[in-house]
Structure 1
Amino acid sequence: MSETSTTSIGARLDRLPFTRAHGRVLSGSGVGWALDAMDVGLISLVIAALVAEWGLTPDASSWIASAGFAGMAIGATLGGLLADRIGRRSVFALTLLVYGVATGASALAGGVAALIILRFIVGLGLGAELPVASTYVSEFAPARIRGRVIVILEAFWALGWTASALIGYLVIPNIDDGWRWALAIGAIPAVYALVVRWGLPESARWLARRGRSSEADAVVREFEASPTWFPVKAGPQPVAASSYATAEAPTARERLAGLWSAPLRMRTIALWVVWFCVNFAYYGAFIWIPTLLFSQGFGLVKSFEFTLIITLAQLPGYAVAGWLIEVWGRRATLSVFLVGSAVAALLFGQSSAEWAILASGMALSFFNLGAWGALYAVTPEVYPTSLRATGAGWAAGVGRLASILAPPSVPLLMGQGGLGLVFVVFGAFFVIAAAATWGLVERRGRALAE
C-alpha cells in the first residue's frame, strides 16, 4: 500500500460526519472500556472487604493491587506491539477474553497467593485493552472532533467505575461472600469479547497500512454509506509528511526504534513522563480511598457510600474536558485539569470533616478523570499509523510501572507523615505531569499522521 493510498483512506475518514457506524464503534469500544473500569474499581472495594474479612495487612493489600498493575504494564507493551502487527480489533477482543475469564476465576480464590496470581493475569488483559481501544477509535473519528470522541470513550470509564461502586455498595456488604459474587460479575467481558470480534470492523487505516487496500476501502465505504448522526465541519489542515516517521516498520524492534527517531524522541519522553506521573497519583489515591476511609473510622458501608458519591463526579469531569479539548486544545486542557487534580489532592489530604472529604474527593475525581480523557485523546495523535498502537501501548506500560509502585508506597508514606503526606506526594506528581504536557504535539482539528 503506497503512502498516498494510505493517506487517501485517512482523508476520506476525516471528511465524514459522525455517522451511525461511528456510533457503533464508539459504543462497542466504550462498553469494553466500562467493563475494564468496573474490574479495576471492584478490586479496590474487594481489598477493603478482605481487610475486614481476612484481616489483610497493608502489605498484603498492596501486593494484590500491584500484581494487577504488573500484569497491566506487560499487557500494555505487548498489546500495542500486537495491535500494530495483527490488527486493533483482534487484540481488543483477545484482551477482553483474557481478563474476563481471569476475573471470574478470581471469585474462587482461596487465599492471598491465588488472588495475586489471578490478578496478574487479569492485568495482562486490562493493560493491553485500553491503549488499543483508544487507538482503534481515534483512527475512525473525524479529525475535527477526534479529541472529543476519545474523551467520550474515556467517559465510559466513569460508567464502569460507578457500576463497581454500586456493586460494592449493594452486593459486597450485604451478601455472604459478597466479594466473590462481585468478581463473578466481572467475568462479563469474556462473553462480550465475541461481540467485539464479530460485530466491529477492523481499523481502515491499519488495513491500508498493511497493504489490504480492498478491505480498507470496503470499511470506509460502509462508513460513507452510514446515516449521519451529527454533522462535522469539513477540512482538516494538511499534515507535512516530513514531520513524521512514515516508513513502514514491520518488526517489533523497528517499531520500538521508531519511537525514538529524531522527530518523535521528545514527544515520547514527554508522553512517558505524563503517563508515569498520572498513573502513580491516580492509582495510589483511588485504589486506596475505600480502605483509607475504612481505616479512618468509617464503617465499610459508609466507606463504599462515600466512594460511590466521589465516583459520580467523574462524569461532569469528562463532559467539561470533552468540550474544552476542541476549544482550548489537548495540551491546555490536560495541563489545567492536572493542576486542578493537584489542588484537590492537597485539600483531600487535609480534610477531616465528612463534607470536606466528600467535596475534595469529588473535586479530585472531577479533575483527575477529565485529565485522563485528555491524555487518552492526545496519546494516539503523537505517532503515525505504523507506530500508533506500539507508541500508545508503551506509554501506557510505563504508566503501569508507576501504578505498581503506588499501592505499596501508600502504607510507607502513611507511616512517615499520615494522610496529609500521601496526598502532598500525589499532588507533586500531578504538577510534574502538568509541566510535561507542553512537550506533547498539539493536533486539535488536524489529520492523524499516516
Structure 2
Amino acid sequence: MASPSNPAAETISGVPHVAALINKLERLPGKANLLWYLILGGLFLDAYSNAALSAGLSPMVEELGLTATQVGLLTATAPAIAIVFNPIGGWLAARIGRVKPLLLAKIIAVAGALLTAYSGTFEAVWCGRALVGVAYGIDFAVAMAMLAEYTPTKLKGRLNLWQCVWYIATTTNLALTLVFFKFGIGTDIWRWSVGSAAVFAGALFVLQLLFLVESPAWLASQGRLADAAKCLHRIYGFNVVAGDRAETREEQPAIGFRHTGVLFRKPYLARTVLSTMISLTQSMQYFAIGWYLPVISLAIFGEQFEKATVGSMVFNAAGIVGGAASAYIGRRMGLRMSSAAGYAMAFVLLLTLGLGFGNLPTLLAFAVPFLFIFCHSAGPGANGKSIAALSYRSDIRTLGTGITGMLGSFGSVIGLYIFPLIKESLGLGPTIALLSAVPLLGLITCLIIKWDPTRTSIDPDEEVIDLQARELAGR
C-alpha cells in the first residue's frame, strides 16, 4: 500500500516486510555492497589481531623468557575473554543497535594492541591480549548478524567470505612481520606485529563511524519503522515509508539474557546445537593447528624464522582459496553437508600428519597441513558462524550469534591452552593425531542434525511463529 503523501512509495509494516524487500534483491547495489565489506573489515581486524601474536610468538617467548604455561595463558586469553563478551556484544546489539557496539570494539582493539606492543612483562602483555579478546568477542557476534541482515536470500552464501578474509588478514600480518624481520628489528619484531593492529583498528573505526548505516531489520524489530524506512532507502535505494499502525519501540519487549531459553526451544534448538558444535569443533582444530602453523613450519623447514614465516604464508594461502571457495561450495552442497565433507577430510589429514610426523617426506609433510587448511576453510571453518547468523530472526539474532559464539569459543580456549601443554608432554606428532578426534565429532554432529538455513525457502524473519510474543515476555 502506498502512502498518501508519497503515492509511489511502498509501506512497510514490520520485520517480515523488511526482510521480504531485501530478499527480493538479485544482487546488492553499490552502497549496500560497500557497507557489507566495511562490516567484513571488522572480521579482518579480529583475525589480524589474533594472528599478530602468533607471528611473533617465538621472539616474544625468547625476549620475555616465558614458560610453556605462560605461553598457553597468553595464547588462550583473547578467545577466553571472547567467551564472555560474545553474548555481551550480542546483548548490546539487541538493545542499542548494531553500529554502536561495532565502533566500541574498534576503540578497545586500539587500546589492546598498543598496550601489548609497549609491554615489558608477562602481566602487561596479558592485559593487552585481554582487551583484544573483549573487542573480538563484541565485534564478531555483531558483525556476522549485521551481515546476515544486510544480505538477500540468494546471496546468503557470501557470509562464508569471512573465512577467506580471516586468512587474508593472517597472511597480511605474516607478510608485514617478514618485512619487519628484513629491517633487522630483532626480538622486538613481535611488538611491531601486534602494534600494527592498532593502525588497522583506528582506520576502520573512522570508516565505520562515517559510513555505517543501522540495520533496518533491527530498527523494525524495535517498532522504529520510520527509521527503518530511511535506512532502507540509504542502503538499497528503496522508496518506502512506515505504515500507519507501526508499533512504537516502547511496545516492544526489551531483549535480555533471560530470553536465552528461546534459543534452546523449538524451532531453534537444533539450529543452536548445530551451529554451536560446528563453531566449537572448527575453532578447536584451527586454533590447535592453524594458529600454530609457524611452529609447525619450524618443525618442517628448520629453525629459521624467515623460512617458517614463508611456510606459514603458503599454508594460509590454502585458507584464502578455501575460504573464497566456501561460498560456492556452501551454495552447491549446503552449509551442513559442506561442513561434513570438510570434517571428514580434516580427520583423515590430521591422523596422517600426526601418525607420520617426522617420518613423512618433506613434500608430503607440507602437503598434508596445506590440504587440512584448505578443507577446514572451505567447510566447517566458515559455516559455524554463518549458520548461527542465518538461523535466527532479527530480534534475537545477535543474542543467538553471541551465545553460540560464546559456547564455540570454548574450542579456541581448549585448543590454545591445552595444545602447548599436550605438545610439551607428548610431542607434536602424537598431539596432532589425538586432535583428529575433534573433526570426527564435528562430522557425526553434521550427519545427525539436518538443519541447513540455505536449504529452506523461508527467511527466519518471515517465519510465522505464534508464540513469539509469549517467548519474549518470558511466560
Q: TM-score, normalised by structure 2?
A: 0.85
Does residue 34 of structure 1 match 2:44?
A: yes
Counterpart in 2 of 1:303? 308
Alignment equivalent of 1:125, drawn from 135, 140, 163: 135
- Give yes or no for contact 2:102–2:142 (8 Å, CA) kept in 1: yes
Structure number with larger C-alpha Rg: 2
**1:180 partner letter:** R
- Give yes or no for contact 2:161–2:327 (8 Å, CA) kept in 1: yes
Counterpart in 2 of 1:171? 180
Question: Matched residues in 2 for 1:377 and 1:251: separation?
Answer: 22
- Give yes or no for contact 2:352–2:433 (8 Å, CA) kept in 1: no
Counterpart in 1 of 2:102? 92
Query: Cα deviation per residue 1:101-145 (whole Å; 9 max; x = unaligned)?
Result: 211221100011110121111101012211211110111111012
**1:35 partner letter:** L
Query: Cα deviation per residue 1:353-375 (whole Å; 9 max; x = unaligned)?
Result: 43223211211111112222222
Q: Which moved more, 1:299-308 or 1:412-421?
A: 412-421
Counterpart in 2 of 1:181? 192
Q: Structure 1 residues 447 and 175 mapped into 2: Cα distance closer, same or farther (>3 Å)?
A: farther
Give the superposition deviation at 1:295.
5.8
Question: Matched residues in 2 for 1:279 and 1:224: separation?
Answer: 34
- Give yes or no for contact 1:151–1:318 (8 Å, CA) kept in 2: yes
Q: Structure 1 residues 224 and 68 mapped into 2: Cα distance closer, same or farther (>3 Å)?
A: closer
Does residue 45 of structure 1 match 2:73?
A: no
- Matched ranges for 1:201-350 at <5 A: 201-225=213-237, 250-294=254-298, 297-349=302-354, 350=356
Give the superposition deviation at 1:153.
3.4
**2:349 partner letter:** A
**1:379 partner letter:** A
Question: Matched residues in 2 for 1:35 and 1:124: separation?
Answer: 13
Does residue 448 of structure 1 match 2:459?
A: yes
Does residue 362 of structure 1 match 2:370?
A: yes
Query: Is the partner of 2:454 in helix, strand or coil?
Result: coil
Alignment equivalent of 1:137, drawn from 138, 143, 147: 147
**2:362 partner letter:** E
Query: Is the partner of 1:281 in helix, strand or coil?
Result: helix
Alignment equivalent of 1:108, drawn from 101, 114, 118: 118
Q: Structure 1 residues 284 and 380 mapped into 2: Cα distance closer, same or farther (>3 Å)?
A: same
Counterpart in 2 of 1:193? 205
Query: Cα deviation per residue 1:205-258 (whole Å; 9 max; x = unaligned)?
Result: 1111011101111222234438xxxxxxxxxxxxxxxxxxxx965241333121
**2:367 partner letter:** A
Q: Which moved more, 1:340-349 or 1:365-374?
A: 340-349
Counterpart in 1 of 2:5? none
Counterpart in 2 of 1:82? 92
Query: Cα deviation per residue 1:377-427 (whole Å; 9 max; x = unaligned)?
Result: 211122111111111111111121221222232233224532222112322
**2:453 partner letter:** R
Question: Matched residues in 1 for 2:254 and 2:212: separation?
Answer: 25
Q: Percent identity?
A: 19
Q: Structure 1 residues 53 and 64 mapped into 2: Cα distance closer, same or farther (>3 Å)?
A: same
Question: Matched residues in 2 for 1:124 and 1:395: separation?
Answer: 16
Give the superposition deviation at 1:178.
1.8
Alignment equivalent of 1:22, drawn from 20, 23, 32: 32
Question: Matched residues in 1 for 2:231 and 2:12: separation?
Answer: 18
Give the superposition deviation at 1:313.
0.8
**Structure with bigger RCO (C-alpha 8 Å, 6+ apart):** 1
Give the superposition deviation at 1:433.
1.3
Question: Matched residues in 2 for 1:422 and 1:170: separation?
Answer: 32
Query: Cα deviation per residue 1:144-169 (whole Å; 9 max; x = unaligned)?
Result: 1212x201233211211110111222
Query: Is the partner of 1:326 in helix, strand or coil?
Result: helix
Counterpart in 1 of 2:8? none
Unmatched runs of 5 consecutive residues or more in structure 1: 227-246
**1:204 partner letter:** P
**2:227 partner letter:** E
Q: Which moved more, 1:322-331 or 1:429-438?
A: 429-438
Q: Structure 1 residues 224 and 69 mapped into 2: Cα distance closer, same or farther (>3 Å)?
A: closer
Question: Matched residues in 2 for 1:139 and 1:410: separation?
Answer: 36
Unmatched runs of 5 consecutive residues or more in structure 2: 1-10, 239-250, 462-475
Question: Matched residues in 2 for 1:251 and 1:134: separation?
Answer: 18
Q: Structure 1 residues 107 and 116 mapped into 2: Cα distance closer, same or farther (>3 Å)?
A: same
Question: Matched residues in 2 for 1:294 and 1:248: separation?
Answer: 56
Q: Which moved more, 1:289-298 or 1:369-378?
A: 289-298
What is the aligned-residue RMSD (CA, Å)? 2.2
- Give yes or no for contact 1:267–1:382 (8 Å, CA) kept in 2: yes
Question: Matched residues in 1 for 2:21 and 2:426: separation?
Answer: 56
Question: Matched residues in 2 for 1:305 and 1:121: separation?
Answer: 29
Alignment equivalent of 1:427, drawn from 436, 440, 449: 436
Give the superposition deviation at 1:17.
2.9
Q: Structure 1 residues 4 and 216 mapped into 2: Cα distance closer, same or farther (>3 Å)?
A: closer
